[in-house]
Amino acid sequence: MYLVFAFLISAAVSAQATQPGTPASTTPAASQEDPHNADNYLEKQTALKGIDQARSEQQKDIRKLSVIVANYGSAVAGSDAELKKIKDLYEESSVLYYRQQYVKSREILNQAKTQTSELYKKFDDMYAKQTDELMIQCAKGVANLETTQTPGGGNSPEWSTVLILNQSRLRTAFGHVVIAQDLNREKRYDDAIDHYRLAKLFGIGLLRGLEEDPQKAKAIDDKYKIDLQDATGGRAASAPSK
């Protein structure tokens, strides 16, 4: 009798489970809108991974580009507007970040990073052109020094010291240019700009060192004032005529 009763209960349960219209599951995990859904959780954890470092890097890029645009914005058409777009994207991402909407925040932050790289690339081309022109002047100046005889008819110790110093500056400057070109091939335009800046510093120092007349040396500083300030991360009040 007990076996028959158990059989009837089992059959009733099975029939209820197979009735049409009965939902397969009503647990929260089955709902895509559930914030605790496994897929949403994984997306959130992926977005969170490294987001603080990415935000910090973007902040540094915006500050660096702000200096570059202030100094050379007129040389790259539309750079002011592009920088503003990058800032706007970062601000939008930050609002979502503090709302703890990390997935969307990371997506917008990635958009800002892409546009940042594109703007760096435009300025990188400008830096490369400027630095190449400067290096040509430097190399010609050193070549002229190498073939110039001192007033006494020989090569004085002072002459040799000046020559060696400026040859060293020239090698160092070109070394930074080579590093910048290697970084460009890796699409690391922001790092390449740093080395173009250093190459400029050594190049300008070389041109100044070749001038014996203090007034001419000062004229070199005045001509490249914006480049000197930019190379150390500063903003120039205005660009000198070249």
Cβ neighbours, 10 Å, residue 143? 11
- pTM comes to 0.77
Do residues 76 and 135 both lie within one domain?
no
Can you list the alpha helix ranges (DSSP code H) found in the chain? Answer: 2-17, 38-48, 51-72, 79-98, 102-146, 157-185, 189-210, 214-223, 225-231
Do residues 142 and 171 both lie within one domain?
yes
Do residues 58 and 143 both lie within one domain?
no
Number of domains in the chain: 2
Distance CA 66, CA 83 (A): 7
Is 219 domain-assigned? Answer: yes
Per-residue pLDDT tens digits for 17-63: 444 444 444 444 433 434 545 558 777 777 778 899 999 999 999 99
Of the candidates 117, 137, 171, which is a domain's last residue?
Answer: 117
Is 65 domain-assigned? Answer: yes
CB 186 within 8 A of CB 230: no
Where b means 16+ CB within 10 Å and e means fewer, 74-112 reads ebbeebeebbeebeebbebbbebbeeebbebbbebbebb
Distance CA 97, CA 127 (A): 35
Do residues 82 and 67 both lie within one domain?
yes
Domain that holds residue 209: 123-149+156-231
Per-residue pLDDT tens digits for 139-191: 999 999 888 866 554 567 788 888 899 999 999 999 999 999 999 999 999 99
At 201, the amino acid letter reads: L
Do residues 62 and 110 both lie within one domain?
yes
Q: Which residues contact 32 (CB under 8 A, 6 or more apart)?
A: 39
Do residues 76 and 53 both lie within one domain?
yes
Average pLDDT over all residues of the chain = 83
Backbone angles phi and psi of 70, in degrees to 5: -65, -35
Is 83 domain-assigned? Answer: yes
Do residues 50 and 112 both lie within one domain?
yes
Do residues 131 and 202 both lie within one domain?
yes
Is 185 domain-assigned? Answer: yes
